[in-house]
Amino acid sequence: MPRHAGLLAALALTGCPPAAIGPPAGSIGDPSSGATSQSSSSTQDPSTGDPSTTTAHETDTDTELTSASSDTGTVEPYCGDGNVDPGEECDDANTHSDDVCVACNLAYCGDGHTFTGVEECDDANDDSEDGCDLDCVRDRVIFVTFEPFPADLGGLDGADHICQAAAADAGLEHADSFRAWIASKDGSPDTRMHKSTGRYVLVTGLPVAQSWDDLTDGTLENPINVTELGTLSENGVFTNTTPQGTLHPEPFDCDGWTSVSGDLLYRFGISAVTDERWVDYDMFGPDVCLGESRLYCTES
């Protein structure tokens, strides 16, 4: 969503700041009333037998009823009362800062609050290269594994677990979201990964691509030659994909990444390059499944 450059200044004049959330101090008076009534007694005149009535003044008088009352107080509108009052854009009657209404202002990218389910991040600035871009989409990390592995990876799921374990051991954020950049008949990066509009970067912060579309156009900004530990690695990598992240049209994948047979082959890339050979190094053709290689791991 677009940033609202002048919104904060405008809202400062009319809006309801966070400190104002909640009812104003004070109390509401309850009306009270009181009444006085005349006390009387009746006696019978012993000489006439007629009843007589006496009061405190020994005369028949009416005492006027009186009452005391107070005006009923009213609560002033406030941010958080659930009503959209003048100067408020919204009012959802809570103090949450991760939903559509923050301090009675509508959430927007750049307000410094991450809107759950809509924004991935929000750092309230205009720097698109600090891990959170202008559309509130975060960077995603891509690395080549420090350790090589045999070709019987356990299929695509087994390869994903290897990437997730490597990311977790290295202390990377979102470790459970990493997936291996390999393909078989069971799937490919194109079908298994989130296609982000944000940047893909090395663990060092160097950009590899500006978006998924940029990542899969055949040319990288920088080679994926840095491991999860931040060390350099320019080696062969299991792939079996095209540069677009789809299954290679002539696939070789060690029987779905489950075999180390010398009779089977796999396609691989080279982590030292930025052209399409990063996933399809076909100069010498596929390699035999007896050998070990590394994995590209992408935050999805």
Residues 180 and 279 occupy one common structural domain:
yes
- Tell me the two tokens of residue 217: 């156009």
pLDDT digits (tens, 9 = 90+) for 191-227: 999 999 999 999 999 999 999 999 999 999 999 999 9
Helix (H, G, I), strand (E, B) or coil at 156: helix
Residue 41, helix vs strand vs coil: strand
Total-model pTM = 0.70
CA pair distance 260, 153, nearest whole angstrom: 9
* pLDDT tens sequence across 11-66: 343 444 444 555 555 443 443 444 443 444 444 444 444 444 444 444 444 434 33
- Of 91, 159, 169, nearest to 297 (Cα)? 159
CA distances from 54 to 47, 60, 62, 72, 178 (A): 17, 7, 12, 41, 100
Domain containing 106 equals 1-24+69-132
Cβ-contact 165, 172 below 8 angstroms:
no
Residue 230 belongs to some domain of the structure:
yes
Tokens found for residue 259 = 């075999």
Query: Is 269 found in the same domain as 152?
Result: yes
Where among 132, 165, 186 does a domain terminate? 132
- Judge whether 44 lies within some domain: no
- Answer yes or no: are the C-beta atoms of 35 and 65 closer than 8 Å: yes
Question: Of the residues 83, 100, 132, which one is the last residue of a structural domain?
Answer: 132
Answer whether residue 33 is part of any domain. no
Same domain, 97 and 200: no
In a domain, 256, yes or no: yes
Whether residues 104 and 18 fall in one domain = yes
CATH number of the domain to which 269 belongs: 3.10.100.10
Counted domains in the chain: 2
